[in-house]
């Protein structure tokens, strides 16, 4: 039987440990030529961000 429970993905900054739901408005967004859109930490401005459940 399938579960209908929604699972929220969280993103975490690997530099300072800041964590918030993935895609949340707390995260900053950058447009980088040749790389595209990147997520940036609002606390330390690092782009070393990983997403997990």
Q: Over the stretch 31-53, which tens digit does the pLDDT of each residue have?
A: 999 999 999 999 999 999 999 88
Q: Which of 6, 2, 5, 36 is nearest to 21 (CA)?
A: 6
| DSSP H or E stretch at residue 40 | strand 36-40
- Residues whose CB falls within 8 Å of the CB of residue 46, separated by 6 or more in sequence, listed in order: 13, 14, 15, 16, 40
Q: How confident is the model at residue 1 (pLDDT cuts 50, 70, 90)?
A: low
Give the mean pLDDT of the chain: 90
Rounded to the nearest angstrom, the gap between the alpha carbon of residue 37 and the centroid of all alpha carbons in its chain is 12
Instruction: Determine the pLDDT at residue 21.
Output: 96
Instruction: Determine the pLDDT at residue 8.
Output: 81
pTM over 0.75: yes
User: Are 13 and 19 contacting, i.e. CB atoms less than 8 angstroms apart?
Assistant: yes
């Amino acid at each position: 039987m399938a579960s209908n429970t929604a699972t929220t993905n969280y993103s975490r900054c690997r530099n300072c440990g800041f964590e918030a739901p993935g895609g949340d408005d707390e995260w900053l967004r950058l447009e980088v030529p040749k790389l595209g859109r990147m997520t940036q930490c609002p606390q330390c401005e690092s782009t070393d961000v990983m997403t997990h459940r």
